[in-house]
Amino acid sequence: MARLFKTFFISAIAFAHVQACTSTAPKAAPDIPEFTSTLEAARLEDGAVGFATALIDDGELIYAKGFGETELGGGAPITPNHIFHWASVSKPLVATAIMQLSERGQLSLDANLVEILPDYRITDPRQRDITIRQILLHTSGIPDVEDYNWDKPEYDEEALMRWALTDSPRDLLFDPGTERKYSNVGYEILGAVIERISGMSFEEYMSANIFEPLGMKSASFIYPDTEKALRTVGHAGARGEKHRIEHYPYNRRHGPSSTLNTSVMSFAPFAQALLAGGSLGETHVLNAETLADMWAPRWMIDEENAESGAMGWVVENRPGRARMVRHFGWDDGFRSALLLFPDTKQAVLFVTNDEDANLRAYLFPALDMLKERASGEN
Record the pTM.
Answer: 0.91
Q: pLDDT class for 377, splitting at 50, 70, 90?
A: low
In this prediction, residue 51 carries a pLDDT of 98
In this prediction, residue 17 carries a pLDDT of 36
DSSP, collapsed to helix, strand or coil, labels residue 348 as strand
Q: How far apart are the first and last CA of the chain?
A: 58
| pLDDT exceeds 90 at position 81 | yes
Neighbours of 285 (CB within 10 A): 24
In this prediction, residue 4 carries a pLDDT of 36
DSSP, collapsed to helix, strand or coil, labels residue 71 as coil
Bridge partner residues of 69 (DSSP): 77
Alpha-carbon distance values, 338 to 124, 329, 330 (Å): 36, 9, 12
**Which residue type does 352 have?**
T
Separation CA 311–CA 343 (nearest Å): 19
| pLDDT exceeds 80 at position 24 | no
Separation CA 21–CA 123 (nearest Å): 47
| pLDDT exceeds 60 at position 195 | yes
Return the closest-CA partner of residue 248 out of 232, 262, 264. Answer: 232
| pLDDT exceeds 90 at position 27 | no
Can you tell me the mean pLDDT for 193-206?
A: 98
Separation CA 232–CA 365 (nearest Å): 24
In this prediction, residue 233 carries a pLDDT of 98
Helix axes 90-103, 288-295, angle to 10 degrees: 130
More confident residue, 239 or 3: 239
Can you tell me the mean pLDDT for 43-50?
A: 97
- Per-residue pLDDT of 159-175, as tens digits, reads 999 999 999 999 999 99
Residue ranges and CATH numbers for the domains of the chain are 2-375 (3.40.710.10)
Given a contact cutoff of 8 angstroms between Cβ atoms, the answer to whether 320 and 309 are in contact is: no
- Per-residue pLDDT of 247-286, as tens digits, reads 999 999 999 999 999 999 999 999 999 999 999 999 999 9
If you ran DSSP here, which 8-state letter would residue 90 be given?
H
Can you tell me the mean pLDDT for 118-129?
A: 96
Q: pLDDT class for 29, splitting at 50, 70, 90?
A: low
| pLDDT exceeds 90 at position 367 | yes
In this prediction, residue 305 carries a pLDDT of 74
Q: pLDDT class for 22, splitting at 50, 70, 90?
A: very low
Given a contact cutoff of 8 angstroms between Cβ atoms, the answer to whether 90 and 334 are in contact is: no
Helix axes 90-103, 184-198, angle to 10 degrees: 40
Can you tell me the mean pLDDT for 222-241?
A: 97
In this prediction, residue 319 carries a pLDDT of 82
| pLDDT exceeds 80 at position 91 | yes
Average pLDDT value for the chain: 92
HEC states along 172-185? CCCCCCCCCCCCHH
Q: pLDDT class for 321, splitting at 50, 70, 90?
A: confident
